[in-house]
Amino acid sequence: MTAVTHPIEDASVAEEMAEEDIVERIFDAVVEQRLPPGTKLSESALCEAFGVGRMRIRRALLLLSSREVVDLQANRGAFVASPTPQQAREVFEARLTLEPTIARLAVERATEEDLKNLTAHLVKEHAAHHEYSRQEAIRLSGQFHLLLAQIAANSVMLRMMKELVTRTSLIIGIFGAPSVANCRDDDHERILRAFKDRDGQAASDLMAEHLRVIEGGLELGTKKGGAVDLVDLFARKRRV
């Protein structure tokens, strides 16, 4: 079907997506691990996917690369980033610096409605886990952390967190042990408990512990995704 049949119907197609929305959509796809590290993001494919001109796509890719979610290689194109172990450590160090404070601020500033939203969110998270809908579970896990940043009401740190949560999804995709999920929602529930108790210090401590657990579940010695190290792969026998 053609996109433009009747002018009125254009409203449903949202009259052309802004690059901001495109960035958001790609962020989401990366968070949900539907775009694994190293995936080629060709301009033409994205143009078709989003139904916009090349300029919009190029601007979106530039923004994504400035957030280090996309690797922009000259004359070669754009690829979903493949964080190195070093970058992974840096991302977690940044999160451990930001998020405990964010959690504390969020507790201090949360309204009754915020608490309701958090509770409702955890119900959804729980459901997704039990239904084994992996993508939805992953998405909601990340969303929980963003929800806290939103409640903390600091747009600067919220923006930082969007980048860090997205990159964390890539990191877990590469270095996460297969069995390990993104976040155990038990931890999230404990944090919610701290919110209901209005205990900022507890929220801060729980968040720090939560992040350490996640980082501890990574295997930062081995690299799985991205460019496979063929030397390492064929040097020794398979060990499984």
Partner DNA sequence: ATCAGATATTTTGTTAACAATCCTGTCAAC
Partner DNA sequence: GTTGACAGGATTGTTAACAAAATATCTGAT
Closest approach of Cβ 67 to a second copy, in Å?
A: 8
Q: Of DNA, a second copy, none, which one does residue 97 interact with (CB within 5 to 8 Å by kind)?
A: a second copy
- Least distance to DNA, CB of residue 12, Å: 19
Choosing among DNA, a second copy, none, which partner's interface includes residue 77 (Cβ < 5 to 8 Å by kind)? DNA
CB of residue 129 to a second copy, shortest distance in Å: 29
Q: How far is the CB of 105 from a second copy (least distance, A)?
A: 8
Instruction: Determine phi and psi for 218, rounding to 5 degrees.
Output: -90, 155
* Contact present, 208 and 181 (Cβ < 8 Å): no
User: What single letter denotes the amino acid at residue 138?
Assistant: I
Contacting positions for a second copy (CB under 8 A): 59, 62-63, 66-68, 87, 90-91, 93-94, 97-98, 101-102, 105, 154-157, 160, 164
Residues numbered 7 to 66 that lie near DNA (CB under 7 A) are 40, 42-44, 53-56, 58
Bridge partners of 79? Answer: 40, 71
Task: Determine if 74 is a binding residue for DNA (CB under 7 A).
Answer: yes
223 with 85: CB under 8 angstroms?
yes
Give the residue, chosen from 77, 85, 217, 225, that forms a contact with DNA under the rule CB under 7 A: 77
Residue with smaller CB distance to a second copy, 90 or 205: 90
Q: Which range binds DNA by CB under 7 A, 7-15, 67-75, 110-118, 127-135?
A: 67-75
* Distance, CA of 199 to chain centre: 27
Using alpha carbons only, give the angle 91, 159, 205 rounded to the nearest 5 degrees: 55
Q: Tokens standing for 86?
A: 């070093």
Amino acid identity of residue 81, one-letter, is A
Paired tokens of 56? 């919009």
Closest CA to 35 of 124, 138, 126: 138
Q: Is position 118 an interface residue for DNA (rule: CB under 7 A)?
A: no
Q: How far is the CB of 50 from DNA (least distance, A)?
A: 12
Q: Degrees (nearest 5) of the Cα angle 106, 96, 190?
A: 50
Interaction site with DNA (CB under 7 A): 40, 42-44, 53-56, 58, 72-78
